[in-house]
Structure 1
C-alpha cells in the first residue's frame, strides 16, 4: 500500500459549537456583504433623487408646512450672534426652554446640508453639556423654527452643539409612506418583488453543506469619531429587563449608548383593554422608537422637532438618522424622562416609553419621519428558560420585537442571551439544549419549523456561542435570502440547562488494514476520550467507492455539528427551509470519504455520477450561475450516546479493485 501520509490523523483541538460558529459567521458575513452590494443602487438613487434646486426645496417645504402654523427661518437668514431658544424635556413629560446663541454656519457639513453651530448659556447644560436624547429638540429664533439640535462634541467643556436645518428635514416629511417597498412575503409564484438580499454563495456552504470557497471575511475599519469633531448625538438605547451580557450584545449590534433600566416598551392598550388615548404632539416632546416591548423592552429615545398634517399626524424628529435605512415600519411611543445622567464623555437622558402612538416610516440623513395614523405590527417572542439547578424555578418571558431583516434576528438573539445569562452563570460544566419554533408564511402559505441543537460549555456558558444558535441562523435565512422575505408570525425559543459533561473528544483516527482497495470495506479505529476520563476505541466501517482506484481520498471524521448534509440548490424559500431541516444530531459521529472528482448541485438536484467533460459542459462559464460544484463523497452517520467533539482528517492512496492489475 502506498500512502501520501501516515494513517494516523493529526489531532485537531475540539471547539465548542465549532460547526455552528463557522456556519453563522460565514452566512452572516456574506449575506451582509451581498446586502450592501444590493443596497448600493438604492443609495446612489437616493443621492440622484435628492432635490437639487432651491425651487425643488421650496416646493417640498410648501407642501409639508401647509398644515403647520409654525413659520420657519431659512439658513440664509441666520447670522452669528442671533439669539433664540430650544425646547426639550429635562424631566417628566413637560418640555422646557433653554437659551441658545448662534456661533456660525458650517456650509456643506453633510451633502447639501449645512450645520448651524450654537452655544447655550443654560445652567443645566453648562453642567451636563449637550445631552444624548436631546436629538430633535426644536430651535427657534425670532419665533421661527430654525431646525433640530442634532450634533455635539464629545468631552466638551462648553455646551456647544449643531443644528440640522428644518429645510432639509422637511424634505423627509415630503416623502410618502412606502409599504410596497418594505420587505414582505411574495404574493405570487416565482421570485418575490420584495427587496430581499441574496447571499447565494454563502448559503451554498452554510445552508447546503457544499464545499464552496467563500470570500474572505469583510474587514471593517474602526469607526473613528475624533474627539474634536462635531458628531451626531448618539440616541440613548434604553433597555429594560436585560442583564449586562444582553445589554453589551445590543450595544454592539446597534452602535448606541446603552442605558439600562429605562424602557417599558410602549403599551399598546390600557390595563382594562381599551385603546390608549391619542397624544396631541408638539415640538419638544420626548419620543421613543420601539424595538422591543413586554417583559424585555428596548427603546431609542429622542425629541420631536416638528408637527404637521391636517390632524397633527405627521412628525419629524431626531434631526439625524437612527439607522439610516430609508423606508421603515417600526412603532414609536411617547416617553417620560426620569433624569439626565451627567457624563464627561456624553450625558444622556434616562427615559421610558409610555404608550404606542404611531410608526416611524422614514429613516433618513436629516430626520426620522413619523405617522401617528399608521400602526406597525410586531412579532411575538416567547423565551423559556430552565436552569441547571433543579431548585431554581423555570421562567418564561413574553416580548414583542420589531420587524427588520437585521433587527429581528438580533433582537431575538438578545432575548435568548439574556435568558442564558440568568440561567447559566454557574462556573461548572453545562450542557444546553436550545430549541426554536418559528411560525412563518411564505408565498406558498403558512408553515412552521423547529430547530433543536445541543451545546456543551466547560466551566460556564459562553453567551457569544448562544448568539450563534442555529435557530437564529434559520431566522436570518427566512428574512435574508435570494427568494423572498418570509412573514414571521411568532417565535418560541427555549433554553434547557443540565450539569455534566457528556462529551467524547476524537483523539485519533487510524485505518485498521494495511492495504485499501477500491470497493473495500474500510475499517477505521477511532480513539475517543471522555472529558477528564478514560480513552476508548470505537470501530467504524465505511465502503470505499468502486471507482476510487488509483486515487487519493480524504477521510474526515467529526461530530454531527461539524457536518452538513449535501443538498441541491433551492428554487424557492420553501426548498431552502427543507434543506435547513436536514441536519445531523449533536450526538452522532459522521465519517466521510472525499474524492478529487466533483459533482454539481443545481436547482434540479445533485448531479454526482457524471464525467469531468460533462461536468464542464453543464457548468456555465463567464456568468453568474446558481450551480455550485462540490466534492463527491461517501458518508456514514453513526448515532452516539454522547456529544462528539473534534475533527480529524487523513489521506490515503487507494489501490485498484482486488483482482485488477495496477496501471
Structure 2
C-alpha cells in the first residue's frame, strides 16, 4: 500500500495559478498502480504530478495535456506534451531533479515527467515518458551493456585537457527527435510538433558533489557542460548511513531518489524522482542517467534542501540519505532497480605523508565498477585528496606514489610506483592510478573484477628534479662478452651532481655496430609506442598485467643496449634476431594486426635510480669486436 499526497482541487490551480503545497496524506493506492494507456490521452485533459519541492514531503502540481508526439525514426518512442502549473513552477519553470515525477490522470499513472525545453524557456512545457514504455524497457533483457562513451585514454597534461577529454566522454544531450520530419503528432499542428520534438531534451540531472575542493568541482562542471548533467554542492542527510538500517518508509512515487557513483570521504550522486514502485521494483527518471545499459549503482534516499531558482533553469539542491537498493538498468526510458541491499563498490584507500613535516592522513572512498566511471572517479578522488592536502605547499613540490590495484579471480595485482614534480605533479600522480585502471577495465580479452585499490603518497616541499648531463662508457675497444661500465651524470635543480655507474654485459655473439641509449621514462615510452611495444599490443590479460607492471618510473634513467637485428612484436611479445625466412612468413600475417615489425632489437635494459624526477637522453655508438680479437 502506497500513500499519496493530499489532492488540491484542480480549480485552485486553473483559476489562480496558486502555489500548491499539499502535504502527505494517509490515503493509499492499491498494491498495483492503475495505469492509463497512451491511446487514452487526449488534448485538454488535466491531471496532477507528484514531486518533492522541499524536504521529503511529496507535493502536487497541475498538468494539462497539449498533445502526443511520436518519433517515427530511431527508437520510435512517444512523449506526452503537457503544460505545468502549481507549486513553485510559475516562478521556476521545469526544475532539474524533477525527472521521473509521476503524472496521473483520473488517478491512473500516465508516466514520468522527463523532458523540458531547457534553459530560458518562456513557459513550463514538458514531456512525459509513457509508463508503458518504461515497463516494457525494463522487461526487455539487455544482451550487452551500452554506453555513450568508452574509457578515457588518460595522459599527462593540464586540467584543461583533462576536462576536454571528459567532456568528449559525456556526449552532448540529444533532443527527442533529430529532425522535424521524424515527428508525428496528435493534438498539435505539424509545425509545433516538429519544433517541440527537436527542442525537448531530457531534463538535466543534478549531480551532487560532496567533499570536493573548488578546482575539482570546476573540472566536473566543465566536463558536464551540455551533457545533461549539472553539478550541485551538498552533503549527506542527517543520520545517513552507507547501507539502509531497515528503518523508515520504503520509496514512494514522487520521492527524491539518488544514483550514487562515489561515496565515503568524497561523494557523487545523481538525483531525480521515483515514478513507480511495483512490489520491490523501482522505476525512475524517465530518461537515461548515463545510458550504461546493465548497471550496478547504489539507490539512495534523498532530501530536497531547497529549489534554486534561475532565469536559465532552476534546480533542486539535495542531501543524500541511506542506500535502499540497487539500480541495475540505465536505459533510454529511465533507470530501474530493486529495493534491498546495495551493490558492492570498489574501496579506494589513500594515505598521505608529508616527509618534511612528519604528518600523515588517510582518506577512504568507494566507486562503482565501470570502464569509464571507475578510472575517472578514482582520478577525481585522488586529485581532490592531493589538492586539499597540498594546497599550502609550493607548486614545485614533489610527489611519490606507491600502491597496488588488487584484482579478483587470482590475477596478479598492478603495482604502482612513480615520482612527479613541478606544477602538474598532482594531476600526474592522479593519472598514474587512473591510466592503468582505464587500460585494464577497457581490455578486449575478458572482464576483470577489481577487489580494492591502495595508494600511498609522500609529499616533499622541494622540487626534486635532475637533468642528464653526461654519459661515459669506459671501454676503448669493447669485445663480445665484455662487461661495460656506463657512467651516468645528472645535475639537480640545486646544482648537485649525481653520478651513478651501471654494468652493461655484452652478449658473446654480439659484434659490429651497437648503440647504448640512456633516457628518461617518457622518452622510452615514446620510442616503444612508435615501435609497437606498449600494453595495448598485449594478446592476453596476463600479458597486459605484466606490461602494466613493467611501467617505467620517472625517478630513474634507463640504459638500453640496441643492435640492428630485425625482428617483430608477435602477439604482444618482442621477437628479435629472426631469420629472414621467419620474417617473410610474419610479414604475410601483418594484415591480421598481430605482427608489428622491428628494425632494431633491445638486447638488454638496466635502470639507474636517482631519487629525483629525471629528464634527458643520450645515444652513444660503439663498435664491438669479436671475443679474443686483438
TM-score, normalised relative to structure 2? 0.76
1:557 is displaced (CA, Å) by 2.7
Hey, what does 2:270 align to over in structure 1? Answer: 300
Alpha-carbon distance in structure 2 between the residues aligned to 1:236 and 1:219: 16
Measured at CA, do residues 641 and 625 of structure 1 come closer, stay the same or move farther in structure 2, by a change above 3 Å?
closer
The within-5 A match list for 1:174-323 is: 174-176=139-141, 229-251=199-221, 255=227, 256-263=229-236, 267-269=241-243, 275-277=245-247, 279-308=249-278, 312-323=279-290
Alignment size in residue pairs:
554
Hey, what does 2:68 align to over in structure 1? Answer: 105
1:93 is displaced (CA, Å) by 0.9
- Per-residue CA deviations over 1:22-49 (Å, capped at 9, x if unaligned) read xxxxxxxxxxxxxxxxxxxxxxxxxxxx
Q: Give yes or no for the alignment of 1:171 onto 2:171.
A: no
Of 498, 501, 520, the residue aligned with 2:463 is 501
- Per-residue CA deviations over 1:270-295 (Å, capped at 9, x if unaligned) read 6xxxx323743322111101212222
Alpha-carbon distance in structure 2 between the residues aligned to 1:635 and 1:394: 40
Aligned partners of 2:412 and 2:545 also within 8 Å:
no
Please say which of residues 327-336 and 160-169 is displaced more in the overlay: 160-169
SS in 2 for 1:257: strand
Q: Which gives a bigger RCO, structure 1 or 2 (Cα 8 Å, sep 6+)? A: 1
Q: Give yes or no for the alignment of 1:149 onto 2:104.
A: no
Hey, what does 2:568 align to over in structure 1? Answer: 600
Aligned partners of 2:166 and 2:223 also within 8 Å:
no
Q: Give yes or no for the alignment of 1:473 onto 2:435.
A: yes
Q: Give yes or no for the alignment of 1:582 onto 2:550.
A: yes
1:102 is displaced (CA, Å) by 2.5
Measured at CA, do residues 396 and 129 of structure 1 come closer, stay the same or move farther in structure 2, by a change above 3 Å?
same
Unaligned runs of 5+ residues in structure 1 are 1-64, 184-194, 207-216
Hey, what does 1:350 align to over in structure 2? Answer: 317
SS in 1 for 2:592: coil
Alpha-carbon distance in structure 2 between the residues aligned to 1:313 and 1:609: 65
Aligned partners of 2:52 and 2:304 also within 8 Å:
yes
Hey, what does 2:301 align to over in structure 1? Answer: 334
Measured at CA, do residues 381 and 642 of structure 1 come closer, stay the same or move farther in structure 2, by a change above 3 Å?
closer
Hey, what does 2:36 align to over in structure 1? Answer: 72
Please say which of residues 247-256 and 160-169 is displaced more in the overlay: 247-256
TM-score, normalised relative to structure 1? 0.72
Alpha-carbon distance in structure 1 between the residues aligned to 2:484 and 2:208: 60
1:113 is displaced (CA, Å) by 0.9
1:90 is displaced (CA, Å) by 0.5
Hey, what does 1:32 align to over in structure 2? Answer: none
Alpha-carbon distance in structure 2 between the residues aligned to 1:518 and 1:361: 63
1:485 is displaced (CA, Å) by 2.2
Aligned partners of 1:87 and 1:137 also within 8 Å:
yes
Aligned partners of 2:113 and 2:128 also within 8 Å:
yes
- Per-residue CA deviations over 1:234-276 (Å, capped at 9, x if unaligned) read 2111111121233344456665211122446962446xxxx32
1:338 is displaced (CA, Å) by 0.7
Measured at CA, do residues 619 and 546 of structure 1 come closer, stay the same or move farther in structure 2, by a change above 3 Å?
farther
Measured at CA, do residues 175 and 466 of structure 1 come closer, stay the same or move farther in structure 2, by a change above 3 Å?
same
Q: Give yes or no for the alignment of 1:433 onto 2:433.
A: no
Unaligned runs of 5+ residues in structure 2 are 1-28, 157-164, 176-197
Measured at CA, do residues 315 and 433 of structure 1 come closer, stay the same or move farther in structure 2, by a change above 3 Å?
same
- Per-residue CA deviations over 1:368-391 (Å, capped at 9, x if unaligned) read 111114642122222222346627
